[in-house]
Amino acid sequence: MIEIEQRPEKVLIFGVQTENYSDEKFQVLMKEMKSLTETAGGIPTVEMTQKLPRLNSRSAVGSGKLSEIKDAVNKEEIDLVISMNALTPSTNRYIEDQLGVRVIDRIQLILDIFAMRAKSREGKLQVELAQYDYLLPRLQGRRDYLSRLGGGIGTRGPGETKLETDRRHIRTMMSQIKKELAKLSEHRELTRSRRRSGSEFNIGLVGYTNAGKSTILRELTESDTYVEDQLFATLDPLTRKLTINGHDGFTLTDTVGFIEELPTTLIQAFKSTLEEMRYVDLLLHVVDASSADRMMHEQTVYNLIKELEMDHLPILTVYNKKDKIEGNFEPTLFPYVTISALEKDGVEALKQKIWAEIVRTSEKFEVEVDPQEADLLALYRQKTLIESLEFDEENQVYILKGFRRSDKELDKER
């Protein structure tokens, strides 16, 4: 990876509102483009939009708008132009040739942020695979462009020397990455199997990027977790132990935030990582309750949950950032809890709601345990939610009542 110190890039953002976008959705996406650009380290300097039935096949925008963009690029000394719309390789090249500056689209911008955020070996490989998949069709005839690369937004990840090699070599690299990812996936499956056989209650955090998932993970588990008011602050899955009502048989897993129109290459690349969530007992869907775009964010997350085949799981919606809500708040998803993750009362309220939802979806049990089976009694205390524990004097046994996951692993161990 090539890292070159340089000043923040001045960025011109343009977007075409086609018939696929309502006014509201288009405005949300354009606003989000500014946040994405800032997260990548750029300075949004100029924003230009156009309304067309569909993208111009050659230049995305009309010829008049392209001239306006070129004038703005020269006047404001723009370093980089970013398109909100996905660009074909030929359209990308044409716009770049016309403007005389680098041009990338929203997909490459998100890939760039992912490359910047990935910390684990698997996360970096997933991002690199997605970048190769995206960049491969864009290499033809771009050797002159690649030789001019001097770092900056859209150039993180595979270095320029890798991109200048032939297409066959890149495909070989992609094949090697897939093999390594498969090995890592096998290891993760073993870890997940051990967690399942332990009969712990596994809880997953999902939500739109920057909804506050990492803050909730940190406050619930009292752990040190990277928390930043940025898009995609967390990329790699992170699992922590969670204690509720004195029971520590819970795990909580955080992962990458969702976003509207997440690039298909990234959905495919991260499917194995997000697959961790397909086996949880409860999904916590974290929503920024103070966001003006809340309902669109909710729909985006639900669409991706369905695409990732996780819509069969119980979901508890956590409306976060209660302290920032202005005016009346009306929830749209149920069951739900409204909190501020930064307030202790809110964290405790969330814990009790998690407990209630786990109990609701778990299997009730009653067992008799001989006083001499101390290990088994300890196992039940550790791996189930104990409702009551009484000693039957007449039969000289403990009567244990509570809730457990429905796989009945405890019966097997007994």
Q: Which residues are annotated as a binding site?
A: 207-214, 232-236, 254-257, 320-323, 340-342
**Binding-site residues from annotation for Mg(2+):** 214, 234
Q: Which residue has the tokens 């000289």?
A: 396
**Binding-site residues from annotation for GTP:** 207-214, 232-236, 254-257, 320-323, 340-342
Q: Which residue has the tokens 């020397």?
A: 161
